[in-house]
Amino acid sequence: MVRGPRKHLKRLYAPTSWMLKKSEGRYAPRISSGPHKKDESIPLRILLSKKLKIASTSKEVEYILRNRMIKVNNNVRTDKDFPVGIFDTLTVGDNKDFLRLLYNTDGKFVLKRISKEDSMTKIVKVRETAIRKGNVPYVYTMDGCCYRFCDQNIKKNFTVKIDFETNKIVKFLKLVVGSIVFTINGKNRGSVGKVIGIEENEYSENIIKIQDFNGREFSTIESSTICIGNKVDNYEIQLLDTKGIKKSILEMSNDTYGPMVVQQN
């Protein structure tokens, strides 16, 4: 007998990017249907309770949302399990606290405090473009939105910048050699670097070769990257203090325990 979709999620099967401790319970919040996939978003209630720590119980989260104190991308949200995805903006209170959701170099969700002006824009990747009835150009983005009467130079895998006040595309970026990209999937999720090469494939995805600002080189597929700027220090979003530089295991060990000392007899 069909009973509809599942409404629960075991904590052990929750995405690791949520950073939930398995010792804190058996179940985890299940994301509602929305603009982002489960593995690429985080429920709104976890951001309020675990990241911002402005609520400690589910009742407190419901009270905050019921009083319309939270905005996601300049829209009031009252669903406690609403999916918040990468580069989405969060406004807490009466326009007093503005944050943007990013990945750190460990691939975990973190919140970056930004200005009010930055909170009114967002970058997103283009999923598809089309010409519909009446020769009207359409642009479909990865967050499930659709925009009409756009610049016809915008193509698939371009990055577009959205203004929330006008709900229009104000700028677009093409991924080329020399562009600055943010890795959104894979083992290098959260890393930022400069494109040093593009390997085009006819029957599969293009391979993007990237070099971060510490000299480390890595490769990933085109769908796992998003262009955030055409020049160094000229980005469309504010990055974390680490600038997307992923440390090696030795560097992380030295930061935690100090450099290794060899005793000579």
Say how far apart CA 68 and CA 188 lie, in whole Å.
36
Q: Where does residue 91 rank: exposed (0-12), middle (13-18), buried (19+ CB within 10 A)?
A: buried
Contact between residue 205 and residue 220 where contact means Cβ atoms under 8 Å apart:
no
List C-alpha distances in Å: 112 to 101, 115, 161. 6, 10, 18
pLDDT at 197: 95
Per domain, the residue ranges of the chain are: 9-116, 123-173, 180-235
pTM of the prediction? 0.89
Spatial distance between the Cα atoms of 228 and 238, rounded to a whole number of angstroms: 10
The predicted pLDDT at position 105 comes to 92
pLDDT score of 8: 84
Look at the domain 180-235 and name its fold.
SH3 type barrels. (2.30.30)
CATH number of 123-173: 2.40.50.740
Query: What is the per-residue pLDDT for 75?
Result: 94
| DSSP 8-state secondary structure symbol assigned to residue 49 | I
**In angstroms, rounded to a whole number, what is the distance separating the alpha carbons of residues 124 and 172?**
10
- Running DSSP on this structure, what letter comes out for residue 250? H
CB neighbour list of residue 32: distance below 8 Å, 6 or more residues apart: 43, 79, 81, 82, 83
pLDDT of residue 263: 66
Q: Compute the distance between CA of residue 227 and CA of residue 244 in angstroms, rounded to an integer.
A: 13
Structure confidence at residue 1 (pLDDT) = 59
Residues of the chain with pLDDT under 50: none
- Which DSSP helix (H) or strand (E) runs through 61? helix 58-66
Query: Residue 96: its pLDDT value, please?
Result: 79
Distance of alpha carbon 126 from alpha carbon 105, whole angstroms: 24
Do the Cβ atoms of 174 and 239 come closer than 8 Å? no
State CA 139 to chain mean position distance: 20
Task: Identify the CATH homologous superfamily for domain 9-116.
Answer: RNA-binding S4 domain (3.10.290.10)
**6 Cβ contact list (under 8 Å, min separation 6):** 30
